[in-house]
Structure 1
Amino acid sequence: MRNKFRNVLVPKQFLFRLTFINIMVITVFVGLSSWAIYNTACVLADGLVSMSNQKQAQFEATLFQYLWIFSISTITIGCLTHFYLTKKLIHPLRELIYSTKKMKQGEYPAPITGKTEGEIGELISHFNDLVKQLEVNEQNRQKIVSDLSHEFRTPLSNLSGYLQALQSGVIDGDEKLYQSLYVESKRLIYLVEQMEQLKEWDHISSQSFSKKSPVNMKNLVEQSVEMFHWVCRNADIKINVDVAPSVIIVNSGAIAQVISNLLDNAVRYYEGTGPITVKGRNIESEYEFCVTGPGKPISLDAQERIFERFYRTDYSRSRELGGSGLGLAISKEIMEHHRGMIGVTSKENKHTFWFRLPRK
């Protein structure tokens, strides 16, 4: 409590110290000016007009009295004006400190208002944006954790109930039952992968991917596609690959992850007929990679937001097929670290996810 009280007084202490220093400066300046004016006036009066010693002493006393009044009035008015202006200037900083303390306590303060200009105004504007973004991120994290917790509960209850029944001999196992248990176990594995993506997002955001080396994109794409061969075969999905060779200096692991994310997205949301087409080509100073496949129509709003963190185009499918909304966001983050671009083009039920990388 004592430390908290001391922290609250920091702006006041700063205000008092600054005011005290300025009072000292004003006092010294006014004092020296008054002393110079006083001596100059006495010398001029003595030289220009011949006065008796009594009149000279009376003149000096009157002048000294007026200078005292002038000095005290100037110092008082100057200090009060300075204190008011300094307090008004520091007020936004006091609000900023108060809001920062609330954030340390796990709360999200209301935006700091006020018509503050200059560097302080810019700082407060950035602080308000930061608080808003952190609050949105926290809400999204809580939502995805809540969704995952709810989704874990059903398969775990099913597995626990059937395994207990098998153990006690209440039911006998058959092929259909084991297939259902296998499907439930796959759901659990997938949910764990989604939770891993939450941790992966923080890791990706802090990486600079400075370790880069020449990579042949044709080989990298073919290796990534091969990883989806078994999944596509079971789902009866055909993949056509047409990739031109090109050597680019990139972080191979990060780019392979982007390719896998786009392929996984195409396979997971595959809906309709026709193959998934994978293309890679050289365009002037860039290399373009595209994954095209059929799926549900994507609205213009969804196309603009699909690379945002935690965003999912179809929440109704989230429990069975939906992702955590991080895969595409991670891909965008990796592209930005490589000074590349990523996007989506959609026409009815045919969607193309693409990225471009500079070849030099």
Structure 2
Amino acid sequence: MRKWIQSFLPKGFLWRLSLLNIAVVASVIVLSGLAVYNTACFLVDAMGTLNDSQQSQFNAILFNYLLIFSVITIVGGSVLHFYLTRKLIKPIRSLTESAKQLKKGNYPEYVEVTAQDEMGELASHFNGLVKQLKANDEHRRKLISDLSHELRTPLTNLNGYLKSLERGDIKGSQELYTSLLSESRRLTSMMEQLEQLKEWDHAASSDYVQYTETDMSDLIKQCAAMFSWRQEQENIPISVEADVCHVSVHVDGIQQVISNLLENAMQYDTGSTSIKVRGEQRASFYYVAVSGQSESIPEKEADNLFKRFYRLDQSRNRATGGSGLGLAIAKEIVENHGGRIGVKSDGLYNTFWFEIPL
């Protein structure tokens, strides 16, 4: 019973706001009543229709009526004001309780938005904040889980071989040492890619990234030229057709995107035709596409390819499947430029593309 009564008693901000408004309203009512009382008494006295006794009686009756009406108005207005104010600031109490839960590390339920005014806007922004924090936390947990999964197998293999060499269970050979070195280098490469992802995550949240006016045609040709030695070794030709167009970009970032797409195209190439790189200036953006023959990509898997640590073929081992970070890095860089990235599959002919706004 006591808690129920206390829940209706004013406290904190509501208490101060109620007292302030009641004091202001009461002052206005009292001053207005006194003004009406003095004006009425003066007008009746000026008319001269009442003697002194009648005038005194009139003044007393008028004062009593005004006093009663003033008290009723102040009390009724105070109760009504308190109820309306309590209802008005109810979302603030909900926000306060939710903020307390958030401070403790718990994700509260979304605050009910009951109005379209500033209070409703505040509640909507708070709900958006809670939603974003939830998403960030889930993303962080998934990243940690994926990272631990990716590192567990190669580290276990390295530790197993090194322990066997230490105990003398197996003898070292050039082939074994080459395999262990390759595994070590792949782990180092994965750490470097994670570092790149961290840098672009930071760049996406910063206000300034250094862009340079660059001819996209030259940039694409430079990236393709870096694979010239590999073209000869693996007999996979690369053809380049690129429109001349100057675009403001982060040069190293866009080079990395194109290189990642070319690396994927060559690594998974299954045909005898050349890998085609196209660069086209379109209405409001510059379009780059890397096309080649490889395994068919289901339409439902297209977006997943750009997620971190994702592999289309989950059974593919890490030595042949890469780290699953190359396309994620490319997506991060392109979106940091305000562009889009995706993939189109036509049977066994796949095209990875991205757009950079002009």
**TM-score, with structure 1 as normaliser:** 0.82
**Structure 2 unaligned regions, length at least 5:** 1-9
Identity of aligned residues (%): 42
* 1:333 equivalent in alignment to 2:329: no
Whichever residue aligns with residue 214 of structure 1, its letter is E
Deviations along 1:289-345, one digit per CA (max 9) or x if unpaired, are 1112334444444445665x6484637268723524732430332221xxx444433
Structure 1 residue 251 and structure 2 residue 250: aligned? yes
Alpha-carbon distance, 1:26 to partner: 0.4
Range with greater deviation from structure 2 (233-242 or 282-291) = 233-242
Q: Distance in 2 between matches of 1:310 and 1:62?
A: 85
Indicate how the Cα distance of structure 1 residues 232 and 226 shifts in structure 2: closer, same or farther if over 3 A, else same: same
What is the CA–CA distance in structure 2 between the aligned matches of 1:102 and 1:244, rounded to whole Å?
A: 55
SS in 1 for 2:19: helix
Name the structure 2 match of 1:314: 312
* 3-state secondary structure, aligned to 1:242: strand
Which residue in 2 is equivalent to 1:4? none
Alpha carbons 2:301, 2:312 under 8 Å: kept: no
Write out per-residue CA displacement over residues 64-96 of structure 1, whole angstroms, 9 at most, x where no aligned residue: 111111111111222222222222221112222
Q: Deviations over 1:220-242 (max 9, x none)?
A: 22333344556666766443322
Whether the aligned pair in 2 keeps the contact of 1:224 and 1:256 (CA below 8 Å) is yes
Once residues 313 and 21 of structure 2 are traced to their aligned partners in structure 1, the CA distance between those partners, rounded to angstroms, is 62
TM-score by length of 2: 0.82
Partner residue, 2:289: 290
Indicate how the Cα distance of structure 1 residues 256 and 141 shifts in structure 2: closer, same or farther if over 3 A, else same. Answer: same
Are 2:355 and 1:353 aligned? no
* Residue of structure 2 in register with 1:115 after alignment: 114
Map Cα deviations across residues 220-273 of structure 1 (whole Å, 9 max, x no partner).
2233334455666676644332233333333323322332343344455x2532
Change (3 A) 1:234 1:141: farther
Compared CA separation, residues 271 and 72, structure 1 to 2 (3 A)? farther
Instruction: Give a deviation string over 1:140-195, Cα, whole Å, max 9, x none.
Output: 22112112112212221221221232234332122442343234224422432353
Specify whether residues 244 and 271 from structure 1 end up closer, same or farther in structure 2 by C-alpha distance, changes over 3 A only.
same
1:182-221 superposed matches below 5 A: 182-221=181-220
The alignment's C-alpha RMSD in Å is 3.0
Query: How many Å separate the matches in 1 of 2:232 and 2:209?
Result: 37
Cα distance in structure 2, aligned partners of 1:333 and 1:217: 17
One-letter amino acid matched to 2:99:
T
| Paired position in structure 1 for 2:324 | 323
Name the CA distance, whole Å, in 1 between partners of 2:300 and 2:11: 49
For the pair 1:147 / 2:146, whether they are aligned, the reply is: yes
> Is contact 2:287–2:354 with CA below 8 Å preserved after alignment?
yes
Q: Which runs of 5+ in 1 are unaligned?
A: 1-10
Q: Secondary structure at the match of 2:213?
A: strand
Structure 1 position 29, deviation (Å): 1.0
Contact 2:254–2:334 (CA under 8 A) maintained in structure 1: no
**Contact kept in structure 2, 1:201 and 1:326, CA below 8 Å:** no
CA–CA separation in structure 2 for the residues paired with 1:233 and 1:106: 57
SS at match of 1:177: helix
Shift of 1:218: 2.6
Distance 1:257 1:250 in 2: 12
1:211–1:251 contact (8 Å) kept in structure 2: yes
Q: Within 5 A, what are the aligned runs for 1:15-164? A: 15-48=14-47, 50-164=49-163
CA change 1:26–1:296 in 2 (3 A) is farther
Give the distance between the partners of 2:346 and 2:123, measured in 1 at CA: 43
